[in-house]
Chain A
């Protein structure tokens, strides 16, 4: 069945970097897009980025553009979110979610990984 599992979260100082991984099973990232969505503590959901199945189209929210970069490893069926120049307001649970058949809807979600940016 379809599963997504995020990893790579942790505590990092402002200005630091982290790389999150989203390991997918039950589907191929070469056939379905993957979104990253985050949720700051006690706050709402915020769309972060989208990795399209072609591996070429990558979209980013303005709040992370120029700091976060998506990449994919087809052999590992994994999408990565490289996060640089981290700021205090990047603190959140980061989820990856499978796009449902080019509808831009997040059909299956991972459990999330917590990123804490703190000095």
Chain B
């Protein structure tokens, strides 16, 4: 049950776009479309922002989008805003367990 691999940090300026990668294996990300992404601000519970690789829950801005290619999933945040500064985690079903990525800290410059 190895964690998915994410970059430790990314950054961007307001109005720009950033993409966070999440690399797994053909046992998790590559084999199922049950990939989700979470946003977590300090001291708060995580918030679901993407599920089923590409779907957004109601209330999540369309600036957030998800995709997948092979064993790697991606979260893209367009038109960056200051409130997007947070930790982001990917998450994938793997048949008999679920696994998170290590998390990526997004800094809005």
Contact = CB atoms under 8 A, between A and B. Distances in A.
A106 interface: yes
Contacts of A111: 45
Given A103-B36, A106-B36, A106-B38, A45 B100 contact: yes
A100 B46 contact: no
A73 to B, nearest CB: 23
A35 B98 contact: yes
Interface residues of A, number: 24
A105 B52 contact: yes
By secondary structure, the A interface counts as strand
Interface in A37-59: 37, 44-47, 50, 59
Contacts of A44: 3, 87, 89, 100-103
A80 B99 CA distance: 21
A105 B45 contact: no
Given A45-B38, A62-B97, 11 more contacts: A44-B100, A50-B98, A59-B96, A59-B98, A60-B97, A97-B46, A100-B51, A100-B57, A105-B36, A106-B36, A109-B46
20 contacts: A37-B46, A44-B3, A44-B100, A44-B101, A44-B102, A45-B100, A46-B100, A47-B91, A47-B99, A50-B98, A59-B96, A62-B1, A100-B51, A103-B52, A104-B36, A105-B34, A105-B36, A106-B48, A107-B48, A107-B51
Interface of A: 35, 37, 44-47, 50, 59-63, 95, 97, 100, 103-107, 109-112
